[in-house]
Amino acid sequence: MIRLSVRDAGFEARFVELLSQARETTETVDRAVADIIAGVRARGDEAVIDYTTRFDRHMLTPDGLHISAAEIDAAVASIPAELAAALDLAATRIEAFHRAQLPQDLRMTDAAGVTMGMRWTALDAVGLYVPGGKAAYPSSVLMNAIPARAAGVGRIAMCVPTPDGLLNPLVLAAARRAGVTEIYRIGGAQAIAALAYGTASIAPVDRIVGPGNAYVAEAKRQVFGRVGIDNIAGPSEVVVLADAYNDPRCIAVDLLAQAEHDEAAQSILITDDSAFADAVAAAVAAELPTLPRSAIAGASWSGHGAIIVVDDWNQAVGLVDRLAPEHLQLMLRDPDAVFAKVRHAGAVFLGQFCPEAVGDYVAGPNHVLPTGRTARFASGLSVFDFLKRTTFVSATQAALQAIGPAGVALAEAEGLQAHARSIALRLDRS
């Protein structure tokens, strides 16, 4: 864990070093992924089945790619009532927030008499990738599928790997609750290729969303253009601004909640109280051995964690905007005043009773967020990722007379005579 203070002589250099940490995987998989995609494009289901046998140790037939309604029914029935209720609460809240995002169509007529506007329409088909086996996250199913359904997407196809034939019942229950219309028991780059290009058993989609390993991320990168994608997600991160009025143990656990994702995750505390910084560091050390994922969290904290002491919250906001974190917790007596000054963060959690973990599951806003400082220019998943805009223009003869000559002049200046003539011929008819 790195300990910094803005008063240190070498603070700027060490902070830049923190910003520059390479936490993404260094594994080179582009060639292997390209081969898998080429195989699926050439051989379709046969290639998908071959790769599934090789990587997931699970023999399939074309008829067995699709997870049946009966299997989903059995999975839903096996979920304890309390867990099913929690899943339903989360889904209800996520759906309400994302339906509230739906935009209005636009139509206007200006002073020249030109009518113009913008119409929103949903994508036809979306593919959702979900990690499978024991490392399954039903919350990610809800966060990716529900915005698509709220946007009005007609077909939502989900791919989930089943290593050694293992199906996660809660993932299937989440898919049913979120309105997923078809589920396939395949994963990896071969699943992304199948969704992008289609096979005899799996129809292609228009956009692919959802997290995955290095092979999945690279496959999404390579099929982009053929289909849309959400983003190329990197390791998770949180920045916590906390004053001394907080319980050090609560803040320590907030930091570890991010660190337990994986060894490359990053947790950073920024505080204006050096004694509180010491107390949180001690609480992290005490809490860490009690976690089931202590090895992962410990590697993350020791390799990428940081505690930074500032003189005031204006300094802290400046550091936050440079970090542009995926998650930002404002555990302050007056979080709104600080939040008003923050420009770059994927999602912000305000006040000591709103830790980031609430946002992962039941708050309502999406937990699919920009990582690796991309919050400087990117946003979290929303209904807008499943909608597209179509603009339209309508002009009367008088309207064309008003604006057409300027169009002719600009087209001629660009040397595009057919463009200029397309307008001028209509002006001559007036």
* DSSP-assigned beta bridge partners for residue 270: 241, 308
Q: Identify the CA nearest to 38 among candidates 152, 262, 189.
A: 189
Tokens representing residue 344 in the block = 């770059």
Decide: residue 244, CB within 10 A, 0-12 exposed, 13-18 middle, 19+ buried: middle
The single residue of 326, 344, 356, 367 carrying the catalytic annotation is 326
Distance (Å, whole) CA 380 – CA 366: 7
Residue reference for tokens 């595009």: 416
Number of residues in the chain: 430
State whether residue 350 is helix, strand or coil. Answer: strand
What does the alpha-carbon distance between residue 310 and residue 8 come to, in Å, rounded to a whole number?
10
326 flagged as catalytic? yes
Is residue 103 a contact partner of residue 120, using CB atoms and an 8 Å limit?
Answer: yes
Instruction: Tell me the one-letter amino acid at 350.
Output: L
Beta pairing, strands 155-159 & 387-395: unpaired
Q: Report the DSSP beta bridge partners of residue 258.
A: none
Cα dihedral value 15, 18, 19, 24, nearest 10 = 180
Task: Please tell me which residue in 98, 261, 327, 344 is annotated as part of the active site.
Answer: 327
Alpha helices per DSSP H over 240-350: 248-259, 274-287, 294-304, 313-323, 335-339
Query: Catalytic site residue 344?
Result: no
CB proximity list for 36: less than 8 A, separation 6 or greater: 47, 51, 188, 189, 190, 193, 215, 219
Round to whole Å and give the CA distance between 48 and 170: 25
Give the angle 247-275-359 at the CA atoms, nearest 5°.
Answer: 35
Strands (E), 138-232: 155-159, 182-184, 207-209, 228-229
In this structure, what token pair is assigned to residue 204? 């292609």
Tokens (6 digits) for 88: 């339903």
What SS3 class is residue 298?
helix
Residues known to be catalytic: 326-327
